[in-house]
Amino acid sequence: MKKIAALTMVRNDDFYLRKWVEYYGAQLGREHLYIFFDGLDQQIAPFCAGTHAELHEKIGSQVVSAEKGRLKFLSGQAARLLAEGYDLVIGVDADEFIVVDPKLGLGLSEYLSSQRIGTSLSALGLDFGQKMGEEGDITEDEPFLRQRRYAQIGTRYTKPSIVARPCVWGSGFHRIKGHNFHIAKDLYLLHFGYFDLRRLQERFQDADRLSQGWGAHMQKRARTIRYVSELPAQDFERWTRFARICQGICRPPYALNKPAMLELKIVVRMPDRFQDIV
Protein backbone atom coordinates (compact mmCIF):
# COMPACT_ATOMS: atom_id res chain seq x y z
CA MET A 1 0.00 0.00 0.00
CA LYS A 2 1.16 3.51 -0.76
CA LYS A 3 1.83 5.95 2.04
CA ILE A 4 -0.71 8.76 1.60
CA ALA A 5 -1.13 12.09 3.40
CA ALA A 6 -3.99 14.59 3.28
CA LEU A 7 -3.57 18.27 4.07
CA THR A 8 -5.82 21.31 4.39
CA MET A 9 -5.85 24.84 5.75
CA VAL A 10 -8.82 26.26 7.64
CA ARG A 11 -10.07 29.35 9.41
CA ASN A 12 -13.23 29.35 11.56
CA ASP A 13 -14.50 26.16 9.96
CA ASP A 14 -14.96 23.53 12.67
CA PHE A 15 -18.26 22.30 11.18
CA TYR A 16 -16.57 20.99 8.04
CA LEU A 17 -13.22 20.21 9.63
CA ARG A 18 -14.80 17.78 12.09
CA LYS A 19 -16.26 15.80 9.19
CA TRP A 20 -12.96 16.11 7.26
CA VAL A 21 -10.97 14.61 10.14
CA GLU A 22 -13.54 11.87 10.63
CA TYR A 23 -13.58 10.89 6.95
CA TYR A 24 -9.91 11.14 5.99
CA GLY A 25 -8.86 9.77 9.36
CA ALA A 26 -10.89 6.62 8.69
CA GLN A 27 -9.56 6.33 5.13
CA LEU A 28 -5.88 7.15 5.65
CA GLY A 29 -5.22 7.15 9.42
CA ARG A 30 -5.26 10.27 11.58
CA GLU A 31 -1.48 10.25 11.81
CA HIS A 32 -1.40 11.06 8.08
CA LEU A 33 -3.59 14.19 8.31
CA TYR A 34 -1.93 17.64 8.27
CA ILE A 35 -4.10 20.58 9.29
CA PHE A 36 -2.95 24.19 9.27
CA PHE A 37 -5.03 26.83 11.02
CA ASP A 38 -4.84 30.18 9.25
CA GLY A 39 -4.07 32.61 12.06
CA LEU A 40 -2.53 32.46 15.53
CA ASP A 41 -5.88 33.65 16.91
CA GLN A 42 -7.40 30.25 16.07
CA GLN A 43 -7.75 27.30 18.43
CA ILE A 44 -7.01 23.68 17.65
CA ALA A 45 -10.20 21.73 18.34
CA PRO A 46 -10.07 18.60 20.52
CA PHE A 47 -11.39 16.49 17.64
CA CYS A 48 -8.04 17.04 15.87
CA ALA A 49 -6.32 14.79 18.40
CA GLY A 50 -4.04 12.30 16.68
CA THR A 51 -3.50 14.49 13.61
CA HIS A 52 -0.68 16.91 12.81
CA ALA A 53 -2.51 20.17 13.55
CA GLU A 54 -0.76 23.49 14.02
CA LEU A 55 -1.40 27.22 14.04
CA HIS A 56 0.13 29.34 11.31
CA GLU A 57 0.57 33.08 10.86
CA LYS A 58 -2.48 34.45 9.03
CA ILE A 59 -1.90 34.56 5.28
CA GLY A 60 -3.14 37.79 3.69
CA SER A 61 -6.18 39.93 4.40
CA GLN A 62 -8.00 39.86 1.05
CA VAL A 63 -9.42 36.77 -0.63
CA VAL A 64 -7.34 36.85 -3.84
CA SER A 65 -3.95 37.53 -2.29
CA ALA A 66 -4.68 35.28 0.68
CA GLU A 67 -5.70 32.39 -1.58
CA LYS A 68 -2.52 32.63 -3.63
CA GLY A 69 -0.41 32.71 -0.48
CA ARG A 70 -2.34 29.82 1.02
CA LEU A 71 -1.78 27.54 -1.98
CA LYS A 72 1.88 28.52 -2.25
CA PHE A 73 2.29 27.50 1.38
CA LEU A 74 0.35 24.23 0.96
CA SER A 75 2.29 23.34 -2.20
CA GLY A 76 5.45 23.70 -0.16
CA GLN A 77 4.05 21.50 2.59
CA ALA A 78 3.06 18.83 0.05
CA ALA A 79 6.60 18.90 -1.39
CA ARG A 80 8.01 18.48 2.12
CA LEU A 81 5.79 15.49 2.85
CA LEU A 82 6.75 13.82 -0.44
CA ALA A 83 10.42 14.39 0.37
CA GLU A 84 9.88 12.83 3.79
CA GLY A 85 8.60 9.58 2.34
CA TYR A 86 4.96 9.93 1.34
CA ASP A 87 4.03 8.45 -2.03
CA LEU A 88 0.98 10.69 -2.52
CA VAL A 89 -0.39 13.87 -0.97
CA ILE A 90 -4.05 14.90 -1.17
CA GLY A 91 -4.69 18.64 -0.98
CA VAL A 92 -8.31 19.68 -0.46
CA ASP A 93 -10.40 22.27 1.34
CA ALA A 94 -12.17 21.19 4.52
CA ASP A 95 -15.52 20.97 2.71
CA GLU A 96 -14.19 18.60 0.02
CA PHE A 97 -14.19 14.81 0.20
CA ILE A 98 -12.56 12.52 -2.35
CA VAL A 99 -14.51 9.25 -2.42
CA VAL A 100 -14.35 6.00 -4.34
CA ASP A 101 -17.58 4.72 -5.87
CA PRO A 102 -18.89 2.19 -3.31
CA LYS A 103 -19.67 -0.26 -6.13
CA LEU A 104 -15.94 -1.11 -6.22
CA GLY A 105 -15.83 -2.12 -2.56
CA LEU A 106 -12.50 -0.30 -2.09
CA GLY A 107 -11.35 2.29 0.43
CA LEU A 108 -9.60 5.45 -0.73
CA SER A 109 -6.12 4.25 0.25
CA GLU A 110 -6.58 0.91 -1.50
CA TYR A 111 -7.93 2.55 -4.66
CA LEU A 112 -5.16 5.16 -4.91
CA SER A 113 -2.51 2.53 -4.24
CA SER A 114 -3.67 0.73 -7.38
CA GLN A 115 -3.34 3.81 -9.61
CA ARG A 116 -0.34 4.76 -11.73
CA ILE A 117 0.08 8.50 -11.14
CA GLY A 118 2.69 10.60 -12.90
CA THR A 119 2.26 14.08 -11.46
CA SER A 120 -1.37 14.28 -10.36
CA LEU A 121 -4.78 12.64 -10.38
CA SER A 122 -8.19 14.31 -10.39
CA ALA A 123 -11.56 13.09 -9.16
CA LEU A 124 -14.73 14.12 -11.01
CA GLY A 125 -16.24 17.13 -9.23
CA LEU A 126 -19.77 17.08 -7.81
CA ASP A 127 -21.02 20.32 -6.25
CA PHE A 128 -23.87 19.66 -3.81
CA GLY A 129 -26.78 22.02 -3.26
CA GLN A 130 -29.99 21.93 -1.27
CA LYS A 131 -33.17 21.01 -3.13
CA MET A 132 -35.56 23.54 -1.63
CA GLY A 133 -38.95 22.14 -0.73
CA GLU A 134 -37.56 18.60 -0.46
CA GLU A 135 -34.42 18.82 1.71
CA GLY A 136 -34.34 20.54 5.10
CA ASP A 137 -31.53 22.17 7.08
CA ILE A 138 -28.39 20.08 7.39
CA THR A 139 -27.68 18.45 10.75
CA GLU A 140 -24.59 16.76 12.19
CA ASP A 141 -26.64 13.78 13.36
CA GLU A 142 -26.68 11.94 10.02
CA PRO A 143 -24.23 11.46 7.14
CA PHE A 144 -24.29 14.35 4.67
CA LEU A 145 -25.32 12.06 1.83
CA ARG A 146 -28.41 10.89 3.68
CA GLN A 147 -29.51 14.54 3.78
CA ARG A 148 -28.34 15.74 0.35
CA ARG A 149 -28.95 13.78 -2.84
CA TYR A 150 -28.49 16.32 -5.63
CA ALA A 151 -25.32 17.76 -7.12
CA GLN A 152 -24.24 19.71 -10.15
CA ILE A 153 -21.46 18.12 -12.16
CA GLY A 154 -18.97 20.94 -11.68
CA THR A 155 -15.79 21.48 -13.66
CA ARG A 156 -14.74 23.83 -10.88
CA TYR A 157 -14.37 20.86 -8.53
CA THR A 158 -12.59 18.47 -10.90
CA LYS A 159 -9.29 19.37 -9.30
CA PRO A 160 -5.78 17.88 -9.50
CA SER A 161 -5.99 17.29 -5.76
CA ILE A 162 -3.80 14.18 -5.58
CA VAL A 163 -0.11 14.70 -6.32
CA ALA A 164 2.76 12.22 -6.62
CA ARG A 165 5.59 14.72 -6.96
CA PRO A 166 6.28 18.33 -5.95
CA CYS A 167 4.31 20.89 -7.95
CA VAL A 168 2.58 24.24 -7.51
CA TRP A 169 -1.19 24.29 -7.09
CA GLY A 170 -3.11 27.27 -8.40
CA SER A 171 -5.67 29.04 -6.20
CA GLY A 172 -8.22 26.68 -4.68
CA PHE A 173 -6.27 23.59 -5.87
CA HIS A 174 -8.00 24.15 -9.25
CA ARG A 175 -4.95 23.47 -11.39
CA ILE A 176 -1.26 22.65 -11.31
CA LYS A 177 0.99 25.13 -13.02
CA GLY A 178 2.67 23.65 -16.06
CA HIS A 179 0.80 20.32 -15.99
CA ASN A 180 -2.34 18.81 -17.47
CA PHE A 181 -4.79 16.84 -15.36
CA HIS A 182 -6.05 13.25 -15.52
CA ILE A 183 -9.53 12.26 -14.31
CA ALA A 184 -9.76 8.90 -12.54
CA LYS A 185 -12.56 6.48 -13.17
CA ASP A 186 -14.95 5.83 -10.26
CA LEU A 187 -13.41 8.62 -8.14
CA TYR A 188 -15.38 11.71 -7.09
CA LEU A 189 -14.67 14.95 -5.29
CA LEU A 190 -17.77 15.88 -3.30
CA HIS A 191 -18.00 19.59 -2.48
CA PHE A 192 -20.38 20.55 0.34
CA GLY A 193 -19.53 24.24 0.76
CA TYR A 194 -22.85 25.50 -0.64
CA PHE A 195 -25.20 22.67 0.30
CA ASP A 196 -27.27 24.41 2.97
CA LEU A 197 -29.05 27.75 2.62
CA ARG A 198 -29.11 28.50 6.35
CA ARG A 199 -25.39 27.90 6.76
CA LEU A 200 -24.67 29.93 3.64
CA GLN A 201 -26.65 32.88 5.00
CA GLU A 202 -24.67 32.68 8.23
CA ARG A 203 -21.43 32.76 6.23
CA PHE A 204 -22.63 35.89 4.41
CA GLN A 205 -22.86 37.54 7.83
CA ASP A 206 -19.45 36.36 9.07
CA ALA A 207 -17.50 39.58 9.65
CA ASP A 208 -14.13 37.88 9.26
CA ARG A 209 -14.97 36.49 5.82
CA LEU A 210 -16.68 39.68 4.67
CA SER A 211 -13.62 41.73 5.63
CA GLN A 212 -11.54 39.55 3.29
CA GLY A 213 -13.90 40.06 0.35
CA TRP A 214 -15.67 36.69 0.45
CA GLY A 215 -19.21 38.14 0.28
CA ALA A 216 -19.46 38.40 -3.51
CA HIS A 217 -17.83 34.99 -3.92
CA MET A 218 -20.32 33.26 -1.62
CA GLN A 219 -23.33 34.95 -3.22
CA LYS A 220 -22.14 33.79 -6.63
CA ARG A 221 -21.72 30.21 -5.43
CA ALA A 222 -25.18 30.19 -3.83
CA ARG A 223 -26.55 29.58 -7.32
CA THR A 224 -25.77 25.87 -6.80
CA ILE A 225 -28.84 25.74 -4.56
CA ARG A 226 -30.91 27.31 -7.32
CA TYR A 227 -29.64 24.85 -9.92
CA VAL A 228 -30.42 21.71 -7.90
CA SER A 229 -33.81 23.13 -6.90
CA GLU A 230 -34.92 24.15 -10.39
CA LEU A 231 -33.20 21.84 -12.87
CA PRO A 232 -34.45 18.27 -13.37
CA ALA A 233 -32.12 15.61 -12.01
CA GLN A 234 -30.45 13.48 -14.68
CA ASP A 235 -29.19 9.90 -14.62
CA PHE A 236 -26.00 9.66 -12.56
CA GLU A 237 -24.28 6.84 -14.46
CA ARG A 238 -24.89 8.29 -17.91
CA TRP A 239 -23.92 11.86 -17.17
CA THR A 240 -20.87 11.20 -14.99
CA ARG A 241 -19.56 8.95 -17.76
CA PHE A 242 -20.18 11.73 -20.28
CA ALA A 243 -18.60 14.34 -18.00
CA ARG A 244 -15.36 12.39 -17.66
CA ILE A 245 -15.01 12.17 -21.43
CA CYS A 246 -16.04 15.78 -22.04
CA GLN A 247 -13.88 17.30 -19.31
CA GLY A 248 -10.95 15.17 -20.43
CA ILE A 249 -11.13 16.75 -23.89
CA CYS A 250 -12.50 20.28 -23.45
CA ARG A 251 -10.50 23.20 -22.07
CA PRO A 252 -11.44 26.85 -21.48
CA PRO A 253 -9.40 29.16 -23.75
CA TYR A 254 -8.10 31.13 -20.75
CA ALA A 255 -6.70 28.06 -18.91
CA LEU A 256 -5.63 25.05 -20.93
CA ASN A 257 -4.91 23.02 -17.78
CA LYS A 258 -8.44 23.29 -16.40
CA PRO A 259 -11.46 21.20 -17.47
CA ALA A 260 -14.49 22.54 -19.35
CA MET A 261 -17.88 21.04 -20.16
CA LEU A 262 -19.44 23.16 -22.92
CA GLU A 263 -21.21 25.37 -20.35
CA LEU A 264 -23.64 22.52 -19.63
CA LYS A 265 -25.49 22.68 -16.31
CA ILE A 266 -26.18 19.08 -15.37
CA VAL A 267 -27.71 18.08 -12.03
CA VAL A 268 -27.64 14.42 -11.01
CA ARG A 269 -29.25 12.49 -8.19
CA MET A 270 -26.79 10.42 -6.19
CA PRO A 271 -27.42 6.67 -6.14
CA ASP A 272 -28.36 5.22 -2.75
CA ARG A 273 -25.06 3.29 -2.55
CA PHE A 274 -23.28 6.55 -1.63
CA GLN A 275 -25.52 7.52 1.29
CA ASP A 276 -23.31 6.34 4.16
CA ILE A 277 -19.89 7.24 2.78
CA VAL A 278 -19.68 10.84 4.13
> Quick one: pLDDT at residue 170?
87
> Quick one: pLDDT at residue 204?
67
* CA 8, 29, 278, 160 torsion-angle sign: positive
**pLDDT mean by block of 10 residues, the chain; 278 residues:** 96 91 98 93 93 86 66 94 98 97 97 95 96 92 95 93 94 85 95 90 64 56 88 97 93 81 93 96
- Domain tally, the chain: 1
> Quick one: pLDDT at residue 107?
97
Question: How far out from the chain centre does Cα 135 lie?
Answer: 22
> Quick one: pLDDT at residue 198?
87
Q: Which of 203, 258, 197 is nearest to 228 (CA)?
A: 197
How much is the pTM?
0.91
CB atoms within 10 A of CB 253: 6
> Quick one: pLDDT at residue 148?
97
Interatomic CA distance for residues 210 and 113, integer angstroms: 41
Q: Which of 33, 269, 59 is nearest to 151 (CA)?
A: 269
Residue range of the domain that includes 82: 4-274
